[in-house]
Structure 1
Amino acid sequence: MGIMNFLRNKMGTILVAVIGLALFAFIAGEVIQYGGSFLSGDNTTIGVVAGEKIPYEKFNENVERTTAQMQQQYGGGSVPPQMAAYAQEQTWNQMISRTILEKELKNLNLVVGTDETKVLLGDRNPHPQIAQAFGDPQTGKVDPAKLNQFKANLQNAKADDPIRERWRAFTEGIIESKKAEKYVVLVTNGLYVNSLEAKDDYEAKNKLANFKYVALEYAAVPDNKVTLTDGDYQEYYDAHKSLFKNKQELRSFEYVAFSGAPSKADSVAAKAEVDKLAQEFKASNNDSLFVQLNSETKVPFSYQKKGQLEPVLDSVMFNASKGFVYGPYLSGNTYKIAKLVDSRLSPDSVTASHILITPAEAGGDDKAQAKADSIKKLLDSGRSFADLATTFSSDKGSAEKGGSLGTFGRGAMVPEFEAAAFNGSKGDIKIVKSQFGFHIIRIENQKGSSQVVKLAIVDKPLTASSSTQSAAYSKAQAFLGNVANGDFDAQAKKAGVPVLPATDVNGVASNIPGLENARPVIKWAFGADKGDVSNEVFSVGDQFVVARLTTIKPEGILPLELVKPQIEAAVRNKVKAKQLIEKLAGARNGASNLAQVAQKAGGKVVPVQNIVFANPVLPGLGPEYSLIGSVFGSQPGKLSNPVEGQMGVYVFTVDGFVKPAPLTNMVKTKEQISQELVQRAQGGVFEALKDKANVKDYRAKFL
């Protein structure tokens, strides 16, 4: 996607770009977070896969590379914390995936040879990523001239030119994804669907069952009438152990937080400061300099139309005179002062084309500026804008369309670009610099005319004073000192702060409910023992936190005591089921039909029509696998034994089955089942490889 199109939808493009870094297409997005004990491993190993150590240094280098790619998408700006965490996770997935598959590929001697590589990176039968990067959008095929020109430029590039490293990483990813593709094909080619499987699948989806049932639901038995014993828990646990496999170590802790948010006194002091600043702003003759010196946020002034401003400004600025100052006013947690710099009539939309020259590709700002000047001279002499855009523009998305960006309104482009496009005149060719490089812009057309305003805004965040912060920290420190000699909950109650839970936190989490950027607390939790209280007060945003570790859930099958709370409801239903089965069995004894069972048990007969085995849902209740399975295994007219289900216990009678028409297209049915198997196999094979590789994750102590 072109850079200017990126400006219209930043986050969507960033996600696509980051995901595109995945080494293996078929496992993109796969999350591998198998945990290990924080105390395991060594000081340089961030993970172990099939006995092979993953060095932290190598992991960190890859994270920095991925983050740099993201920074380019942000125009060199800082990467938000959420995207930085995503970069770390994506890098981890890629490194684990590569290690696992490299071992399999080596064992099987699966390679991509020299000749095959040439084909993948060529123009005759290229890899899809080559076709995307160097393709003709009209034909979908690689443009040989474009590809050859790039390769020639690459050949002539200096040894330290960043483009060489980007191309190496790009081609390496293509080769690795081809290897992975071969591996998947090797596995899936071994899948086979026989005629019996096809017939069973067809009948499971098309054979209809009509039956009646009597149900005694678990909800009808009051919970307080059921007593659960250790034996009940143990019986359920032993029968369902596979459900309690913990793929990664999880820890739970509780914490108290003492707020260091701005106090009322802080707000009064800040208001007095910005009131004084507002008077100085009114008298200022250099609004740009004043904003640079006094504002927390420094952005270029730009014209905005009605509806683009904050509501409080939108209602006053379009009727105000130049120099009018509004504020101070509180916006969220920030005081703002707004000054009307200019007001004018401006086009509603602009149609424009551009040629982008990036310093990275040109060899620096000076060379990029010189190249842009040279191209403008060619344009001034009559050369075709479309031809020059196709040849020179770094924005490949628009270059494919002769540089055309189409028609856009205000707010769609970065401020420098927007100012040039909206403030110029039709036919103008201008050079402007933005965070993306140098743009040669040609204004094709301008439509409409609306009032726009240019505002200078000074903002001052409302922050806590040192005395407020110190007071909050002192309370937290006092709590920490007291809790060492007493109960955590009792001390929290005495301090007047709630005890908050953080349940089942993984070792690489960044946030917990109520606290963002809580890595210091989480890192401590993964180095503590059960019952430990933190040995320090953590500063998290404007909160001062003291925590206590309550639970450690290790990797592997969890012991009964750790899963008791989560299985309590299921165990209770199991005990209720025994009671209800006994009741229904008694009602069934001596009964010749379902109506008699219903009368004795105090239930009612419910008829059900057109149920298929492949969709075992009981109308009005939900999935009932055991019941529907029993129905399809029964003879019509026969009174069943009690069946334990998800929502209750059932006795039923089958009225009959409606068989589907004979299967006429066996081949098509086999193909459909095979496609489903292949789709499941791609993820299933990798899950099996992960289990076999015994992945250990020690990231918790590094990040």
Structure 2
Amino acid sequence: MNLCAKGVTLHAIFQKSESAMAVIEKIRQRVGLVVFLIAAAIVAFLLMDALNTTSRMAGNSPVIGAVDGEKIDYQNYQAKIEQITDNYQNNQMEITDETRMQIREQAWNQEVEETLLRRAYDALGISITKEEMESLFTGDNLHASIKSAAAFQDENGQFSRDKLAQYVKSFTDGTEEGKARQRQWKRFEESVLKDELKQKYTNLIKKAVYVPSWYAKEVYVDKNKKANVNYVFVPYTTIQDTEVSFTDSDLKAYLNKNKEKFKQKDSKTIEYLTFDVIPTAEDSAAARKTVADNLEPFKTSEDAGRFVKIQNSDTPFSDKYMKKDEVSGAVKDSLFSVATGTVIGPYYEAGAYKLVKLIDRKMIADSVKVRQIIKIASDQASATKAKTTIDSLKTVLEKGGDFAALAAQFSDDPTTKDKGGDMGYVKPDAINPDLAKAIFYEHKKGDIFTVPTQQGLYLVQITEANPNAEAVKFATFSKNVEPSEQTRNAAFAKAQQFAGANTTADAFRKAATDQNLIIKKAENIEKNTYNITGLGISEEIATWAFLNEAGNVSSRIFQIEEDLKDGSGRSKTIYVLPMVSGAKAEGTASVDDVRTQLEAEVRKEKKAEKIVAKIGSAADLQAIATATGQEVKSAAELDFNSFSLADLGREPQVQGKLFGLQPSAVSKPIVGDKGVYVVQVTSFTDATPPADLSATKAEIGQPLKQSADFGVIQALTKAAKVDDERYKTRRY
């Protein structure tokens, strides 16, 4: 059962222990003993968690940010990180450095969201009542996650209150599993309460959505009114860049008029040097010698798979049989031609020296048809019972018993038991590895055999198999060519020596030039950046940059790992020496910060002025076309919502002014994104709104209601002042 969820701080559920006791007493009066026990346990856990939450909040946890001045503390944030990490691990998801950073962002967003929502709930008086609590966890209106959880279902797949009671009782059985289930249940409770509160809140917003008839009429007309137009379009490209000029004053004036377009956050720019740790010739020779020294022992080993494991080969052993199209590398062809027991190598490939020994070669099937009986085992007692049952069934089958009937009666697999245990045709990569090994490599058609797995014991029969492809099993002993400690120390010493000798920006740049070192640059590093362009996951460097002023050269050498991208999955170490070369303050960008964008916009303005001057006093489209060297074009059936001109895409300025024109009237020059336009409406096809506007109202209102589910957080966040100061608590 997976009841883990994102979690939420419980608030205003039970203010006093007396409230909890009142809920328990009310449940006792209304339901039976079993349900009462469940309810009592749930309420107790809720109360305990609420008290624990209060206790945590009372500590001296560091502050990592604030929402409109309300502090967010580190301890709650860290608890969320641990909880989300647990969820990843419970779902067997790989946790990489990138994933860890994403988890931190997810935890932070949860903290902000919960703070914003709690304030909204408090302002509106939204809460979960005691009666709703009863209904969700013990009453007739049980939460869907409880009713659908496999752990709470009986043998007929129906929800069982007895199963739920047993589950809750297991919290206090003294085992680690029981404690884990208790923690999981708490998170589930919190998640349900969080979802219920948010559902109430968003429902209020949805109920507030109202589309008046006058607005529905306007939307209907905008969508269905059509315009036929003639127009002249003069592209900015008709004016050469060299024909216009502007000064920094022009750029500043444009910036002042369009401040909202050029908002920026606090950020730093760094310049940095990298010192790669590259294996030397001596490192390569050492790896080759290790492989060569193991050639004879590898040849004479009776168990090649065990040999590569004991000798710490950098290529792990797999006892899988592989067809030719599954084998890669230099020995692909040789493995299918040499005798069993042959050792190939030493040879160099993908950054490693290797030996390969052919263990076996046989014909295997692409897929086989099998049927199974499964007895699930979760502990030693159930494993012993499962073995006894499976052994007895195997004996019956070997004497001619009916596999299908036995599967229907004894198998614990609900997906195959009603089909006589038939799994259909299976491929080795699509089933449990232990099963695949037994089915494809150790048995043949007609065999009946048992396979122990972590889930339990399988009784399997192969009903169809056609071995049609040659496959090999082999072992690889390899040693990667890795930098030695001496090589690593030399690269680090070089970086450290450079840092010690060049402590200013000018010295940093001059020394890099003198030593033919390439200075790289990373811009717009914000407070909590963890992924730096060119460096990848570099949280420590980002933190250092934001805590230092422009011109500072780091006294510390940072270390990152970079994927070799040679197919080996290995990485190389790089030492990084950064320098803060620039800083941007939150607010409107300076001219220098956005000079390129400003120049592009001001250049368009200057070109527009020249085009408008060319148009002059020309009053009809043909005269305008002649004056500007263009032609009169036409467009039909344009509407306000999907407005576009052929090959030009959307032009909002033209769109807005066109539908405000009277038929036959010629517009003044309209400055657009791609050039200057002059438009004449030849005709409008008016749209008459229907008497019944319900369909239009629904079309308008439904998306607004749907957006409440995700848009409310965006709106609350935008309206709040969120200070994210997590970087101050990080070490570098």
Question: TM-score scaled by structure 1?
Answer: 0.82
Given that 2:543 and 2:727 are in contact with CA atoms closer than 8 Å, whether structure 1 keeps it comes out as yes
Letter in 2 for 1:80: T
Q: Report the Cα distance in structure 2 between the residues aligned to 1:111 and 1:605, rounded to whole angstroms.
A: 64
What displacement does 1:330 show? 4.2
Gaps of 5+ in 2: 9-59, 397-404, 562-572
Q: Report the Cα distance in structure 2 between the residues aligned to 1:155 and 1:125, rounded to whole angstroms.
A: 22
1:617 partner SS = coil
Q: Which residue in 2 is equivalent to 1:327?
A: 345
Alpha-carbon displacement from aligned partner over 1:125-147 (angstroms, at most 9, x marks no partner): 5545445534999xxxx943456
- Is 1:516 paired with 2:536? yes
Number of aligned residues:
648
C-alpha spacing 1:96/1:574, structure 2 compared with 1 (3 Å): same
Q: Report the Cα distance in structure 2 between the residues aligned to 1:375 and 1:51, rounded to whole angstroms.
A: 65
Q: Which residue in 1 is equivalent to 2:626?
A: 599
1:528 partner SS = coil
Q: Report the Cα distance in structure 2 between the residues aligned to 1:283 and 1:328, rounded to whole angstroms.
A: 15
What displacement does 1:240 show? 2.2
What displacement does 1:678 show? 1.8
Task: Between 642-651 and 415-424, report the one with greater CA deviation.
Answer: 415-424
Of 134, 148, 153, which residue of structure 1 is paired with 2:167?
153
Given that 1:211 and 1:653 are in contact with CA atoms closer than 8 Å, whether structure 2 keeps it comes out as yes
- Is 1:222 paired with 2:249? no
C-alpha spacing 1:356/1:321, structure 2 compared with 1 (3 Å): farther
Of 636, 639, 644, which residue of structure 2 is paired with 1:617?
644
Q: Which residue in 1 is equivalent to 2:356?
A: 338
2:578 partner SS = strand
Given that 1:214 and 1:594 are in contact with CA atoms closer than 8 Å, whether structure 2 keeps it comes out as yes
2:101 partner SS = helix
Q: Which residue in 2 is equivalent to 1:657?
A: 684
Task: Between 535-544 and 486-495, report the one with greater CA deviation.
Answer: 486-495
C-alpha spacing 1:439/1:509, structure 2 compared with 1 (3 Å): farther
- Is 1:463 paired with 2:482? yes
Q: Report the Cα distance in structure 2 between the residues aligned to 1:644 and 1:593, rounded to whole angstroms.
A: 18
What displacement does 1:648 show? 1.0
Q: Report the Cα distance in structure 2 between the residues aligned to 1:167 and 1:520, rounded to whole angstroms.
A: 36
What displacement does 1:671 show? 0.6
Q: Which residue in 1 is equivalent to 2:158?
A: 144
Q: Report the Cα distance in structure 2 between the residues aligned to 1:473 and 1:533, rounded to whole angstroms.
A: 16
Given that 2:390 and 2:457 are in contact with CA atoms closer than 8 Å, whether structure 1 keeps it comes out as no
Q: Report the Cα distance in structure 1 between the residues aligned to 2:342 and 2:694, rounded to whole angstroms.
A: 78
- Is 1:318 paired with 2:349? no
Letter in 2 for 1:671: A
- Trace 1:16-35 onto structure 2 (pairs within 5 A): 21-23=5-7
Of 577, 597, 611, which residue of structure 1 is paired with 2:608?
577
What displacement does 1:114 show? 4.2
- Is 1:309 paired with 2:340? no
Of 584, 599, 608, which residue of structure 1 is paired with 2:635?
608
Q: Which residue in 2 is equivalent to 1:94?
A: 110
Letter in 2 for 1:597: I
C-alpha spacing 1:267/1:181, structure 2 compared with 1 (3 Å): same
Q: Which residue in 2 is equivalent to 1:489?
A: 509
Task: Between 228-237 and 637-646, report the one with greater CA deviation.
Answer: 228-237
Given that 2:643 and 2:655 are in contact with CA atoms closer than 8 Å, whether structure 1 keeps it comes out as yes
C-alpha spacing 1:284/1:444, structure 2 compared with 1 (3 Å): closer
- Trace 1:528-547 onto structure 2 (pairs within 5 A): 528-541=548-561, 542-547=573-578
Q: Report the Cα distance in structure 2 between the residues aligned to 1:544 and 1:189, rounded to whole angstroms.
A: 58
Of 435, 444, 448, which residue of structure 1 is paired with 2:466?
448
Letter in 1 for 2:166: A
Q: Which residue in 2 is equivalent to 1:240?
A: 258
Letter in 2 for 1:672: E
Given that 2:5 and 2:187 are in contact with CA atoms closer than 8 Å, whether structure 1 keeps it comes out as no
1:54 partner SS = strand
C-alpha spacing 1:692/1:600, structure 2 compared with 1 (3 Å): closer
Q: Report the Cα distance in structure 2 between the residues aligned to 1:356 and 1:496, rounded to whole angstroms.
A: 68
C-alpha spacing 1:385/1:697, structure 2 compared with 1 (3 Å): farther
Given that 1:218 and 1:648 are in contact with CA atoms closer than 8 Å, whether structure 2 keeps it comes out as yes
What displacement does 1:582 show? 3.0
Q: Report the Cα distance in structure 2 between the residues aligned to 1:400 and 1:202, rounded to whole angstroms.
A: 56
Of 496, 515, 519, which residue of structure 2 is paired with 1:499?
519
C-alpha spacing 1:457/1:324, structure 2 compared with 1 (3 Å): same
Given that 1:44 and 1:55 are in contact with CA atoms closer than 8 Å, whether structure 2 keeps it comes out as yes
Q: Which residue in 2 is equivalent to 1:33?
A: none
Q: Report the Cα distance in structure 1 between the residues aligned to 2:239 and 2:531, rounded to whole angstroms.
A: 41
Q: Which residue in 2 is equivalent to 1:476?
A: 495
Q: Report the Cα distance in structure 2 between the residues aligned to 1:356 and 1:482, rounded to whole angstroms.
A: 70
Given that 2:213 and 2:693 are in contact with CA atoms closer than 8 Å, whether structure 1 keeps it comes out as yes
Q: Report the Cα distance in structure 2 between the residues aligned to 1:512 and 1:569, rounded to whole angstroms.
A: 27
C-alpha spacing 1:634/1:466, structure 2 compared with 1 (3 Å): same
Q: Report the Cα distance in structure 2 between the residues aligned to 1:306 and 1:664, rounded to whole angstroms.
A: 72
1:111 partner SS = coil
Task: Between 551-560 and 408-417, report the one with greater CA deviation.
Answer: 551-560
What displacement does 1:189 show? 0.9
Given that 1:250 and 1:553 are in contact with CA atoms closer than 8 Å, whether structure 2 keeps it comes out as yes
Q: Which residue in 2 is equivalent to 1:266?
A: 283
What displacement does 1:596 show? 0.6
Letter in 2 for 1:473: F
Q: Which residue in 1 is equivalent to 2:696?
A: 669
Q: Report the Cα distance in structure 2 between the residues aligned to 1:443 and 1:97, rounded to whole angstroms.
A: 54
2:361 partner SS = strand
Task: Between 179-188 and 202-211, report the one with greater CA deviation.
Answer: 202-211
Q: CA RMSD in A?
A: 3.5
Of 557, 564, 580, which residue of structure 2 is paired with 1:549?
580
2:512 partner SS = helix
- Is 1:213 paired with 2:236? no
Given that 2:273 and 2:578 are in contact with CA atoms closer than 8 Å, whether structure 1 keeps it comes out as yes
Alpha-carbon displacement from aligned partner over 1:587-613 (angstroms, at most 9, x marks no partner): xx1x34110111122222222222211
Instruction: Give percent identity, aligned residues only.
Output: 29
Alpha-carbon displacement from aligned partner over 1:547-590 (angstroms, at most 9, x marks no partner): 12233344454455433344332232223223323333x1xx1x
Gaps of 5+ in 1: 3-16, 25-41
Q: Report the Cα distance in structure 2 between the residues aligned to 1:625 and 1:316, rounded to whole angstroms.
A: 66
Given that 1:308 and 1:314 are in contact with CA atoms closer than 8 Å, whether structure 2 keeps it comes out as no
Q: Report the Cα distance in structure 1 between the residues aligned to 2:146 and 2:152, rounded to whole angstroms.
A: 11
2:523 partner SS = strand
- Trace 1:118-137 onto structure 2 (pairs within 5 A): 118-121=134-137, 126-130=142-146, 132-134=148-150
Given that 2:330 and 2:349 are in contact with CA atoms closer than 8 Å, whether structure 1 keeps it comes out as no
Given that 1:372 and 1:431 are in contact with CA atoms closer than 8 Å, whether structure 2 keeps it comes out as no
Given that 1:321 and 1:340 are in contact with CA atoms closer than 8 Å, whether structure 2 keeps it comes out as yes
Given that 1:134 and 1:146 are in contact with CA atoms closer than 8 Å, whether structure 2 keeps it comes out as no
C-alpha spacing 1:569/1:280, structure 2 compared with 1 (3 Å): farther
Q: Report the Cα distance in structure 2 between the residues aligned to 1:577 and 1:470, rounded to whole angstroms.
A: 61
- Trace 1:276-287 onto structure 2 (pairs within 5 A): 276-287=293-304
Task: Between 178-187 and 192-201, report the one with greater CA deviation.
Answer: 192-201
1:490 partner SS = helix
Given that 1:420 and 1:432 are in contact with CA atoms closer than 8 Å, whether structure 2 keeps it comes out as no
2:149 partner SS = helix
What displacement does 1:318 show? 3.0
What displacement does 1:646 show? 0.5
1:484 partner SS = coil
Question: TM-score scaled by structure 2?
Answer: 0.79
Given that 1:291 and 1:456 are in contact with CA atoms closer than 8 Å, whether structure 2 keeps it comes out as yes
Alpha-carbon displacement from aligned partner over 1:428-485 (angstroms, at most 9, x marks no partner): 4534345xx5454544644321333222223322212334323322332233234325
Q: Report the Cα distance in structure 1 between the residues aligned to 2:705 and 2:427, rounded to whole angstroms.
A: 46
- Is 1:169 paired with 2:187? yes
Letter in 1 for 2:600: A
Q: Report the Cα distance in structure 2 between the residues aligned to 1:671 and 1:693, rounded to whole angstroms.
A: 31
Given that 2:352 and 2:480 are in contact with CA atoms closer than 8 Å, whether structure 1 keeps it comes out as yes
C-alpha spacing 1:214/1:190, structure 2 compared with 1 (3 Å): same
